[in-house]
């Protein structure tokens, strides 16, 4: 079986170096691209990862300006191959988000996993952003991404906003920081994680390994 060939999207949203370093520890090929490849060349890739930090509005603007928005929603979506959004990359899969938008409004997202991204309603005594290690609880312990991961294993989070999927079945795992919040989403071949697997040591490596084991149709 050939090794996975991973495209890491670099839309200027940061966190690229640590993701590439994590992929070097996996049995895969990985390439970083700043602009979309052609439809024909896209067939060379088996998996796509979208890392990111920053605001929802700035993230979507960066995807539009670089051409990645159309490529993700049209080319990669039609190929039905595995896609993983990390941190902001997960949130951008939503239908809309409020971070970075004008008051009482929202910004349209990729709308690949219907839902909305809003600010955490954390306890007033808890600091935002939420930074640190938190337990991960799976709704589907036997799911493809959760293989080999213990219930309640800690992952590393840095965020102030949370993804609220419209369909509860798209919420694969949750964590807690003054409130329960979505930690993993999934719909068809598109997945997202709110935490940073590339910074989550052994359990993060296990999750990346599970993602890379997903078949490319």
pLDDT band at residue 102 under the 50/70/90 scheme: low
Calculate the alpha carbon distances from 68 to 45, 122, 153 in Å: 15, 33, 33
The full set of domains in the chain, from first to last, is 5-212 (3.40.50.880)
| Residues 108-143 pLDDT 10s | 999 999 999 999 986 788 899 999 999 999 998 778
Q: Which two tokens stand for residue 7?
A: 């495209």
pTM of the model as a whole:
0.95
Residues known to be catalytic: 87, 196, 198
């Amino acid at each position: 079986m050939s090794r996975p060939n991973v495209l890491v999207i670099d839309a200027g949203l940061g966190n690229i170096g640590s993701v590439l370093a994590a992929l070097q520890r996996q049995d895969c090929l990985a390439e970083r691209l700043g602009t979309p490849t052609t439809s024909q060349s896209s067939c060379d890739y088996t998996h796509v990862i979208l890392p990111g930090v920053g605001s929802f509005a700035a993230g979507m603007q960066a995807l539009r300006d670089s051409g990645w928005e159309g490529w993700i929603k049209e080319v990669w979506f039609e190929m039905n191959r595995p896609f993983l959004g990390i941190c902001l990359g997960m949130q951008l899969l939503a239908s809309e988000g409020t971070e970075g938008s004008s008051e009482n409004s929202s910004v349209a997202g990729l709308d690949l996993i219907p839902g909305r991204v809003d600010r955490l309603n954390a306890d007033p005594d808890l600091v935002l952003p939420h930074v640190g290690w938190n337990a991960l609880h799976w709704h589907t312990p036997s799911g493809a991404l959760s293989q080999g991961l213990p219930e309640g294993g800690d992952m590393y989070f840095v965020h102030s906003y949370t993804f609220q999927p419209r369909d509860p079945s798209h919420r694969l795992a949750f964590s807690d920081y003054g409130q329960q919040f979505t930690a993993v989403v999934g719909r068809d071949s598109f997945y997202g994680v709110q935490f940073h697997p590339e910074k989550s040591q052994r359990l993060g490596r296990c999750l990346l390994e599970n993602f890379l084991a997903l078949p490319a149709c």
